[in-house]
Every structure is written in C-alpha cells, then in structure tokens.
Structure 1
Amino acid sequence: MEAFYDSDFSRDTTAVVHFENVGVRYGMGPEVLRDLTFSIEPHSFQFLTGPSGAGKTTLLRLILLAVKPTRGLISLFGEDVSGISKDSLTDLRRRMGVVFQDFRLLDHLTTYENVALPLRVQGKEEASYRAEVVELLRWVGLGDRMHVLPPVLSGGEKQRAAIARALIVRPDLLLADEPTGNVDPSLARRLLRLFIELNRLGTSVVIATHDFSLMDQLDVRRLVLGDGRLHIDE
C-alpha cells in the first residue's frame, strides 16, 4: 500500500478532536452521555470500546456533528463548532473518513463507483484516481467485485467497500464503527494492518469495537464508555 498513500503529511500539533464537559440527551430523557472531556491528537490511534448500548455510535456521531450536544464544547481541527456555518461544516467533514455499520452504499453505483464517489464529488477527473481506487479495492479483497452493484455483495463485501470509500480520500481523521464486524479473522487482521498503515502516514484513527481479540493485537489507547461516561485507558 505504500504507493497509495503520500507520506508527506503536516505535523500540526492542534488536537483533531477536543470535547469539554460534553453531554447529550434525546428529548426530555436523561443524558445518554455526560461529562465527556478528552482530546484526540494528530496522528494518534485509539480504540473506542464498551458494552453494547454504551453509546459508541452516538459518540462517533457527535464527532461527525451528526448529533448535536446538549451541553459542553466541541472543537474539530482547532475550530469551535458551536454555531458553525453549513459551508464550514462541509469542509470539516471532508477531512474525515467515516465507516458506519449501515454502510450507506448507493445501490445504483458499482463497487468501484461507490468507492470513487468522494473523489468525483471533489471534482477530480477519473484518470487522476482510477489506479488508486483499483489498488485499494484489490487490497480489501474486492478486486474481482469492483463492477458489481451493492445488492449483489455480501455483508462483509459491503463492509469492505465502505472502508475503501472512507480511506480513498486520505482523511485527517478516520471514524470506524465495528469495521471488522462482518469479516473473518484473517481479513480482520488485514484490515487492521491497513488502518495501522494509514495512521503511520498521518491519519488519526478511532475504531469503535467490542472485539477484544482485535484490540489485543495493538497496544494503543482505549476510550472506554460505560454508564454514560468515558474512561481513558492509556
């Protein structure tokens, strides 16, 4: 994968994500997450873990600004996001790669077209990215599936396509929600190596998982959610 990534990345030390006393509730109910204070540093790698229902997906959606906090302050790439404009929000999100469990592939586009879509949206010509898309699809084991539509793909194949689409933009921050949940252990290790390589070349990585066998393969910080609060295991 060395040819896919450009290793000349910025050494900015500004926190990629910073939460200060953040809480979130739905409707008039109790806070599902509360008093969240933490930072994600540039070029860092961390697992986000906790039991089912602990709020891992909600925390990822807070970072993506798909969910608004009830209270507290959130900054992304050094920018306070309270009152952020729609254009600025779009610019911030373009710096992130996101893999959620529902995949969000477009059924009328082929696997190749789905992965290339973020680059098309940026206005890039296909000639400038085709080789990169093909290489990445081969790396995630979809080299022979790039011209089929998502309804033909298995759940694991859709997962890998969603991962490839998130990585193709070479994001500053990758948020992945159970990215190895639908693949076999061998492929899970392969995908983890891809995330490690992406991180080595500059991307901050947050992987939400409850798979201890996956986490035990890498000695990195763990963000542990429980009872609505966050504990950091360095």
Structure 2
Amino acid sequence: MIRFENVGLRYGLGPEVLRDVSFSIAPGSFQYVTGPSGAGKTSLLRLLFLSLRPTRGILQIFGQDAATIRRDKVQSTRRRIGIVFQDFRLLEHLTTFENVALPLRVLGTEESSYRRDVSELLDWVGLGEKMWVYPQVLSGGEKQRAAIARALITRPEILLADEPTGNVDPPLARRLLRLFIELNRLGTSVVIATHDLGLMDQYDARRLILEAGHLAIHD
C-alpha cells in the first residue's frame, strides 16, 4: 500500500528532519508512529497525506511515486486516505452532522444518499445525540470523535491520526483506541502518531520509532 525507501525530508535549506527512512505499510495493518517531541512524527504523516513531497528517496503511495504524481491525481489519492488532525479543524459554523458530511459534500454527493450513513457513523462514535449542535458546545473529546467520524465517512483505505488522544482523559483515550481497533478489524490500515506509551501498551502493534529523524521498527 505504501513504501518508503531511504526517504529524506528537509524544510527549505534547513537540516533534514527525516533521514533515510525505510518501511512499508501493508493493507489492513495497524501501527504506531512514536518518538519524542520534534522527532518528525507529524512530518511523516504529512508525507503520507501528500501535503509534503520527499526531498530525496522513494515514496510510493498506492503504487504511485509521490515525487512525480500529477497535481490532478493528488486529490483522488487523498480521498483514499482519512486524516485526523491534532487540532480537529472542525468548522464552527457547521453542525456536527455537517462537519462529518463535509468531505461528501465536497465530492458533490447528494445529502439524501449519505444522510443515513452519517447518522449511523455518529451513533457509532457516540455522538448521535449531538448531531445538530455546533462545535462550540462540544467537549474536547466530542470534537475529537467528530474529527474521527469525518475522517471515516469516505471509508478510507488508510487512516492517519496525529496524537488523537492528546487532549482527552484516559477513559476516553481507551474508548478512542477501541474505535481505531474496530476500524482496523473492518479492513482499514491505521497509523497513529503518539507519544503516549500507556496507550500503546493497551494494544500491541508495530511501532515505528522516530529519534532525531531516524526510524527504528519494533514489530
């Protein structure tokens, strides 16, 4: 599904933030990306989402070379990838339902064809009763679940999550982890960037450990 081979990344003329990174992500797999703050976790996710291109090396996503993929193909490739940002990025003027449905609206899908799917997904993440409220009245954990639902509504082949439990208490963190595990069991590959060792200890999966831009893999 995804292959990194000796990938390097630098911003402008600065030093490399990722150095000779090599690994692959198989369909239906589950992995954590971990390491100290500033190790390059978010940069790695941005490469996976095609919001950055490698400075050197080979990055293939769904068989396409990220360095040469045409601009008109980037959006269609991104639609196969769901991403949960650390800051949620919910639109304040839209209800929970509308925020979750937004990726489908952007694709031009009629509401009548997705209304049931959005409602069922919100029930699944525990937000069925908050469907028509605005983000201002949601708690941090509820906003996180709404962001996860939005990332899932297009049924992505791979889900990227940047510190998805960083703003919630331990019981909610466990609940969110169970959502990711269930999603993975349904066939979606999951990549979670986190520094929460306690979270990783709750579910054994491959760890991609970044340290000063270098990657080590613990299966």
What is the TM-score when the length of structure 2 is the normalising length?
Answer: 0.95
Distance in 2 between residues matched to 1:135 and 1:231, nearest whole Å:
39
User: 201, 213, 217: which one pairs with 2:198?
Assistant: 213
User: How far does residue 49 in structure 1 lie from its aligned partner after superposition?
Assistant: 0.5
Give the structure 2 partner of residue 172 of structure 1: 157
Give the structure 1 partner of residue 56 of structure 2: 71
Give the structure 2 partner of residue 149 of structure 1: 134
Given that 2:95 and 2:133 are in contact with CA atoms closer than 8 Å, whether structure 1 keeps it comes out as yes
Give the structure 2 partner of residue 130 of structure 1: 115
User: How far does residue 227 in structure 1 lie from its aligned partner after superposition?
Assistant: 1.6
Q: Where in structure 2 are there 5+ consecutive unaligned residues?
A: none
Residue 209 of structure 2 corresponds to residue 224 of structure 1: yes
Could you say what secondary structure the match of 1:144 adopts?
helix
RMSD (CA atoms)? 1.3
1:3-42 matches, cutoff 5 A: 16-42=1-27
Residue 67 of structure 2 corresponds to residue 86 of structure 1: no
Distance in 1 between residues matched to 2:112 and 2:98, nearest whole Å:
13
Name the structure with the higher helix share.
2
Could you say what secondary structure the match of 1:170 adopts?
coil
Q: Match for 1:218: what amino acid?
A: Y
Over the matched positions of the two proteins, sequence identity in percent amounts to 71
Give the structure 1 partner of residue 45 of structure 2: 60
User: How far does residue 172 in structure 1 lie from its aligned partner after superposition?
Assistant: 0.3
Given that 2:53 and 2:67 are in contact with CA atoms closer than 8 Å, whether structure 1 keeps it comes out as no
Given that 2:54 and 2:67 are in contact with CA atoms closer than 8 Å, whether structure 1 keeps it comes out as no
Could you say what secondary structure the match of 1:223 adopts?
strand
Q: How many positions carry a matched residue from both structures?
A: 219
Q: Where in structure 1 are there 5+ consecutive unaligned residues?
A: 1-15
Give the structure 2 partner of residue 196 of structure 1: 181
Give the structure 1 partner of residue 106 of structure 2: 121
1:98-109 matches, cutoff 5 A: 98-109=83-94
User: How far does residue 144 in structure 1 lie from its aligned partner after superposition?
Assistant: 2.3
Query: Following superposition, which runs of at least 4 residues in structure 1 exceed 6 angstroms of deviation?
Result: none
What is the TM-score when the length of structure 1 is the normalising length?
Answer: 0.89
**Which deviates the most, 131-140 or 173-182?**
131-140
